[in-house]
A and B are shown apart, each in its own frame.
Chain A
Amino acid sequence: MAGTIRAQYPATIRPIRINCTGRVTPSLMMRAIGKGADGVIVAG
């Protein structure tokens, strides 16, 4: 999406493709934090 609008974002933001935001569980978000991520953005 960012590519099509030619927007730039820092390389420290890593996207993971999901089919629907309804799919995101708290356990997945906590796993990311637990593995060292500073935060989780759920966008869509």
Chain B
Amino acid sequence: MDSFRSLRAAVGILLAASCGIVHAEVVRAPDSKLISRPELKFVLDQRQSESRQLATLLHEDSGGKRTEVALIEASVAKGRARVAVRSFAASADMGIATLERLYTLVLRMDPEAGFCFTQGTGGCDASLGLDSHSDALRRIALARENALTRAAAPGASWRPVSMGLVETGSRDPDVVSVRLSSAGVPLADVRIFFNQAPHSACVGKTDADGVAKCRLVDEHGDEDEHAGELRAVVATFPGDVKAEPVLPPTTYIVRAGGS
């Protein structure tokens, strides 16, 4: 089953630091319906130590030769996960494929982390601040659109959606809502998944104004062990690959976590 493994340690388990042992493995990069050229093979070289996790995305040609095309580095600073994403594919074609792979990988990462996405040789400048998960995804999507235009390459266009806060109209803190739009136009009849660690969730469908609302239900019900902790509420738009342009999935922090 190893061939079906995808980037795992760096996607959501960012804070699982341990004994300083370095673990490394090479796995196939995960597939996605966002990938326009599935015949291009990519693998991930994953390395993990106590303080950071490094995933190198490599293109593998038909002869088995591997070329580094992107790097994802996750670390923890001041209690917050930070993810630096850098794409440095040489050709335009490879750039598009790399960005599609990166979108798939970053989508699966901790939505509460701070992100920094760069292209080319430049590194991240932390002093400029970090992006949210949704902003990082938007940057990658826009970079892909630009690469598509520059290369005059065929490929479905992507249009990132936006989610924003909207009053729930309820005093119940478990009632959550967001407004979903694309290019300023509300998107109706779309299911939005709300999730709160460790195990609360609900699903709301957007109305004509693009507003989805529901009440979080604790799916697990252990005995209030998390009382006093403020856990983030994350909204997920699952994407629409049949739409034209394609609406790629994204997340939104409805309520930030903290202690």
* Chain A bound to chain B: no
B residues sitting closer than 8 Å to A (CB atoms) are none
